[in-house]
């Protein structure tokens, strides 16, 4: 077990929320460095040493510097979680984690964020925004179809990083006033009620509920 010298660089985004949530679920102490996207704080030499691409969140753990929220949450879970998973369960967790991060977050929600939320920086692209909303709905429906009405978690009967990734995207979608399938709404409300999510949201400076 590695010593708990954990530093999180960045706050204030759905992606930083994922890392903070994982830390609170695991009850791990950490220090946060307040790096805010698109501000001068991203030019700090100490931050660039951890994240040369100026990406948040970034994790510093001893000699390890790690970026990408999916990689960070998985690393923390692999290192500190006491849960055991079968190879099949691990593969399913990875499947849904990659799906949510690539198909919902990067391909849809972040495009909306850029061109609808920040057109002064990234330019207006109405067609891209419309198609991104359509694509987001389609992919959320894929996940919804995989849930039963009573599903507590995305994979099996245990909380996993796949739940962190999906729930943060559900919260992001609700901030965009998207009308999600009822199963996802119920699932999201249940996951957002977890104390660790509430604590992480407070630290991150984002709304803790939908």
For residues 22 and 73, the answer to whether their CB atoms sit within 8 Å is yes
For the record, the structure tokens of 175 come out as 């901030």
CATH number of 87-194: 1.20.1050.10
Give strand pairing partners of 8: 32, 59
* Domain ranges across the chain: 6-80, 87-194
pLDDT of residue 151: 87
Q: What is the mean pLDDT of residues 167-182?
A: 96
Q: Identify the CA nearest to 147 among candidates 93, 105, 183.
A: 183
Q: What's the pTM value of the predicted model, to 2 decimals? A: 0.94
Spelled out in words, what is the top-level CATH class assigned to the domain 6-80? alpha beta
pLDDT of residue 138: 98
Q: Return the DSSP state at 117.
A: I
Return d(Cα 43, Cα 105) in angstroms, integer: 25
* Confidence label for 208 from pLDDT (cuts 50, 70 and 90): very low
Q: Distance from first CA to last CA of the chain, Å, rounded?
A: 36
């Amino acid at each position: 077990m590695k010593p708990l010298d954990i530093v999180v660089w960045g706050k204030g985004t759905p992606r930083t929320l994922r890392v903070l949530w994982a830390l609170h679920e695991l009850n791990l102490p950490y220090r946060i460095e307040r790096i805010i996207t698109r501000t001068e704080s991203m030019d700090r030499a100490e931050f660039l040493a951890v994240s040369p691409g100026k990406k948040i969140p970034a994790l510093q753990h001893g000699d390890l510097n790690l970026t990408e929220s999916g990689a960070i949450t998985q690393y923390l879970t692999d290192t500190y979680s006491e849960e055991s998973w079968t190879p099949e369960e691990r593969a399913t967790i990875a499947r849904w984690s990659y799906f949510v991060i690539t198909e919902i977050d990067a391909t849809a929600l972040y495009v909306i964020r850029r061109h609808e939320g920040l057109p002064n920086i990234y330019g207006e692209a109405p067609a891209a925004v419309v198609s991104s909303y359509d694509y987001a709905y389609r992919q959320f429906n894929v996940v919804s179809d995989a849930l039963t009405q009573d599903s507590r978690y995305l994979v099996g009967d245990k909380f996993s990083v796949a739940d962190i990734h999906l729930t943060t995207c559900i919260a992001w979608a609700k901030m965009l006033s998207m009308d999600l399938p009822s199963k996802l709404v119920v699932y999201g409300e249940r996951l957002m009620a977890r104390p660790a999510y509430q604590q992480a949201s407070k630290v991150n400076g984002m709304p803790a509920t939908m």
